[in-house]
Structure 1
Amino acid sequence: MSYLRYVKLIGTMHVSPKSREEVIMTILSEKPHAVAIELDRTRFLAMSQNRNVSLEDALRYGKRGLINYVLAKVEEKLGEEFGMKPGEEMKAAISAAQTFGVPLYLIDEDINVTLAKIAAAPSREKLLMALESLSIFLPLNLGEISDPMADYRVMMLQFKRRYPYLYRVLVEERNEIMARNLISIVDSLRIQGVKKPKVIAVVGLGHKPGIEHILDRERVESFYLQ
């Protein structure tokens, strides 16, 4: 029996209102034993306290701070276009878990580790990323967007082709970390006596297929099977 039997992943686009609605409705209908979200402790606290880092603050942290600032601005700009602040679907998952008294788990890699990996990217990828990130300070014209989710997989394929190193550290390695954390959650619930654990995991759409593949290939130990 694979771990995918016990975990339902919601693949979201972090700036899509439809994702927020899907998260709320799924948690309401599934009534899971646990909710897991694509955040680490640092980002969770920043989101909970509505902390916004200024460019001046980012520069004080050097290269890692600047990278984090640029990535945040990219999502913020997209959020203006799609009508939702980045992370609203994560906030919805947190709120729903608290409302129903469901344990909440943070399953992503420590942001400081991720930023260190980004800073170690090949010069070509860093230069290309820097040039493309300049567009966040210019008016963003995406045309008429009927469903931003529809083009997201194409965007991920393009990103993988243009940034193979960054794709590996931002997507593939984090897929492995989040999948392992979900496996630990399922194991913990079964040890506690929950025969058929139900875990809802809210992750970015680009992570969903990879995490599902890992969970599907891993088999639950016979000790846990009833």
Structure 2
Amino acid sequence: MSYLRYVKVIGTMHVSPESRERVRKIILGEKPHAVAIELDRRRFYAIRNPQKMAFGDAMKYGRKGIIQYILTKVEEKLGEEFGMIPGGEMMEAINLAGLLGVPLYLIDEDINIITMKILKAPFREKLLLLLESLAVFIPLPLKREEKDIIMDFKVMMTQFKMRYPYLYRVLVEERNEIMARNLIAIVDSLKAKGIKKPKVIAVVGLGHKKGIERILNSHKAFISPR
């Protein structure tokens, strides 16, 4: 029996109020034994203690700081357009885990490691990424329904994989592997505590959902003979 039997993966748009409501509805409805979210310790602390960083401050940390600054600004811009701060659905999952009294797990790769991998990208991909990041200063279209945004997102992910093969591998595929392994470890730990049929809710970005589910489905969980 695959690990996917024990894990329900919620794919969210990080800046969508509809995603936040879906996370709330599913977690309260499922009443899981554990909640897992697409964050590491540094981003978990940042989301709990939000602070604005000026570009001048980011420059003090060199290329790594500038890349993190650009990524933050992109999320902030999207949050303004959709009426939701970046990571609102993650905060919802964090709060609900506390409300239900179940363990909360941080399953994503360390942001510093991710940033260092980005810095090792081929020059062509880094240049394209920089140019496309400038779009953060351009007004976005009027608000749309989430289903329409998801359709555009699927096309965007396909295009991203074609234009940025290296970045797609390190930002999507490798993180899928890491998060899936962490979810497998969570299920195993719950089973070791005597929970025969553990139920884990994982809240991740929409671009990671299918990849994580595919990995979980390919791994078989140990079933007690009892």
- Give the corresponding residue for 2:172: 171
Distance, in Å, in 1 between the alignment partners of 2:96 and 2:53 is 27
Distance, in Å, in 1 between the alignment partners of 2:58 and 2:137 is 16
Distance, in Å, in 2 between the alignment partners of 1:197 and 1:152 is 32
- SS of residue matched to 1:9: strand
- Give the corresponding residue for 2:131: 131
- Give the corresponding residue for 1:55: 55
Distance, in Å, in 1 between the alignment partners of 2:104 and 2:33 is 9
- SS of residue matched to 1:102: coil
- Give the corresponding residue for 2:32: 32
Distance, in Å, in 2 between the alignment partners of 1:136 and 1:225 is 55
Letter in 1 for 2:194: G
Distance, in Å, in 1 between the alignment partners of 2:61 and 2:111 is 13
- Give the corresponding residue for 1:119: 119
Identical-residue share of aligned pairs (%): 64
State how 1:1-226 maps to structure 2 within 5 Å.
Answer: 1-138=1-138, 140-143=139-142, 145-147=144-146, 148-222=149-223, 224=224, 226=226
Distance 1:157 1:53, change over 3 A: same
The offset of 1:144, in angstroms, is 5.1
The 4+ residue runs of structure 1 with deviation greater than 3 A are: none
TM-score (norm 2): 0.96
Distance, in Å, in 1 between the alignment partners of 2:46 and 2:13 is 20
Distance, in Å, in 1 between the alignment partners of 2:29 and 2:60 is 45
- SS of residue matched to 1:51: coil
- SS of residue matched to 1:8: strand
The offset of 1:51, in angstroms, is 2.3
8 Å CA contact 2:2, 2:221 repeated in 1: yes
Distance, in Å, in 2 between the alignment partners of 1:225 and 1:68 is 49
- Stretches of structure 2 that go unaligned for 5 or more consecutive residues are none
Distance 1:118 1:225, change over 3 A: farther
Letter in 2 for 1:19: S
Higher mean alpha-carbon deviation, 170-179 vs 79-88, is at 79-88
8 Å CA contact 2:17, 2:82 repeated in 1: yes
Distance, in Å, in 2 between the alignment partners of 1:144 and 1:15 is 12
Distance, in Å, in 2 between the alignment partners of 1:108 and 1:141 is 29
The offset of 1:178, in angstroms, is 0.1
The offset of 1:143, in angstroms, is 4.2
Distance, in Å, in 2 between the alignment partners of 1:173 and 1:57 is 30
- SS of residue matched to 2:194: coil
Distance, in Å, in 2 between the alignment partners of 1:146 and 1:185 is 34
Distance, in Å, in 1 between the alignment partners of 2:9 and 2:124 is 34
How much is the aligned-residue C-alpha RMSD, in angstroms?
A: 1.2
Distance, in Å, in 1 between the alignment partners of 2:225 and 2:37 is 26
Distance, in Å, in 2 between the alignment partners of 1:91 and 1:75 is 15
Q: Give the paired residue count.
A: 224
1:78-121 superposed Cα distances (whole Å, 9 cap, x missing partner): 11111111100000000000011110000000000000000111
The offset of 1:185, in angstroms, is 0.1
8 Å CA contact 2:4, 2:213 repeated in 1: yes
TM-score (norm 1): 0.96
Distance, in Å, in 1 between the alignment partners of 2:109 and 2:133 is 23
